[in-house]
Amino acid sequence: MNKVLIIGEHDGKNLNPAAAKCVTCAMAVPDAEITLAVFGKDTAAVAAQAAALAGVKTVLRVDRPENEHPLAAILAPQAVALAADYSHVFGPSTSFGKDLMPRVAALLGVAQVSDLMAVEASHRFRRPIYAGNAIVTVEADAARTLVATVRVASFEAAPNGGSAAIESKSLSVALPSHTRYVGAKMGGTDRPDLQTASRVVSGGRALASADNFKILFSLADKMGAAVGASRAAVDAGYAPNEMQVGQTGKIISPEMYIAFGISGAIQHLTGIKDARTIVAINKDAEAPIFEVADVGLVADLFQVVPEFERLLGG
C-alpha cells in the first residue's frame, strides 16, 4: 500500500482549494491511503474542511503557536517528523508549497518532483520543463520517500462527501528562531481567486496603463471573473504581481480565459494551456495567442471591452 501525506495550505480560516486538487492527484497513486496534515495555531475549522474531502482517510492537526504563519523553516522539520510514516509527501505547487516542500525533501535527503502533472505509477510521474515546451517522465527510487509539488492546474478538485477522522498530533520537534514573520500586504479583493476561478479576464501590455486595467475589473465583476495579467503588463507596472499568469506567475485552468491585448509569449501560454476555452482579442492578427485560442477576434481591445460588457446585458 502507498501512504500519501498531503500538506494542506490554509489561511487560518479556509483550506486552500489547491488541497482538494492534491487529493485527486494522490488518488491517482495506486492503492493509496491519503492523510492530509494542517499546521497552524488553531486548525479546527480548516481540519473540518479537509475531513470533508472525499478520498481523505485521516486529517492530522498540528497546532502550536509557532505555526500561526506558514514559515518553511518552522514547518519543514515538523513535516519531516510526520513523513516517517508515509511513502509519498505531496504539497501544492503554490508559493506555499514551492517554499516548503524542497526544504522538506532536503531534510529527508531525497529529490523532489516539482509540478507533478500526471501519475503514471507509484514512483513514475510526468512534469513540464522549459516553460512547458517539453514534458518529462521521471522515475524515483521506490525505497525512498517521494516528495512532490502538485501542479494544481492539472487536477480537478476532489469533491466533498468524505468524513475523515481528525487526529491532533503533538510533535516534539525543536523549532528554529532564526526566521520570523513580520507582516503581509495581501491583494485583498472580493473577486474570485485567480488560481481557482472558473472565468478569468486577463490583460497584457496593450492595456497601456494601470488606470486602463479598470475596464477589465469592471468587465470581470460583471462576469464574476478573476483578473489576470501577462508578465509584460506586470513588469510595466500596470498590474500587481499576484495577478501574473505564466511560467513565473500562476498556472491556471479556468473554464474560460479571455486574453485582451496579450500577444501570447510561450512563457504566458504555459500558464493558460489547461484552460478549457481560450478567447483572444488582439489588434495584431499575427499574435501567437491566436494559435492556441479557441475563439479569436482581431480588434482594438478598447473598443471590444465596453461593447462586450454591454452585450452581456444585465
Partner 1 sequence: MQKIMVCIKRVVDYNVRVRVKPDGSGVMLDGVKMSVNPFDEIALEEALRIKERVGNIEVVAVSVGVADTQQQLRTALAMGADRAVLVQTDLAVEPLTAAHTFLALARKENPDLIFLGKQAIDDDANQTGQMLAALWERPQATFASKVGIDGAKAAVTREVDAGLETIEVDLPAVVTVDLRLNEPRYVKLPDIMKAKKKPLDVTTFDALGVSAGQYLKTVKTEPPAQRQRGIMVKDVAELVDVLKKKGLI
In the complex, minimum distance from the CB of residue 78 to partner 1, in angstroms, rounded to a whole number = 13
CB 64 within 8 A of CB 36: no
C-alpha 228/C-alpha 201 separation (Å) is 6
In the complex, minimum distance from the CB of residue 232 to partner 1, in angstroms, rounded to a whole number = 12
- CB-nearer residue toward partner 1: 17 or 166: 17
In the complex, minimum distance from the CB of residue 166 to partner 1, in angstroms, rounded to a whole number = 26
C-alpha 290/C-alpha 263 separation (Å) is 8
Say how many C-beta atoms besides its own lie within 10 A of residue 166's C-beta: 17
- CB-nearer residue toward partner 1: 65 or 183: 183
C-alpha 172/C-alpha 79 separation (Å) is 12
- CB-nearer residue toward partner 1: 121 or 165: 121
- CB-nearer residue toward partner 1: 51 or 117: 117
In the complex, minimum distance from the CB of residue 108 to partner 1, in angstroms, rounded to a whole number = 9
- CB-nearer residue toward partner 1: 199 or 283: 199
C-alpha 255/C-alpha 226 separation (Å) is 12
In the complex, minimum distance from the CB of residue 22 to partner 1, in angstroms, rounded to a whole number = 15
Helices 95-108 and 72-83 cross at an angle (nearest 10°) of 50
Could you give the 3-state DSSP secondary structure of residue 35?
strand
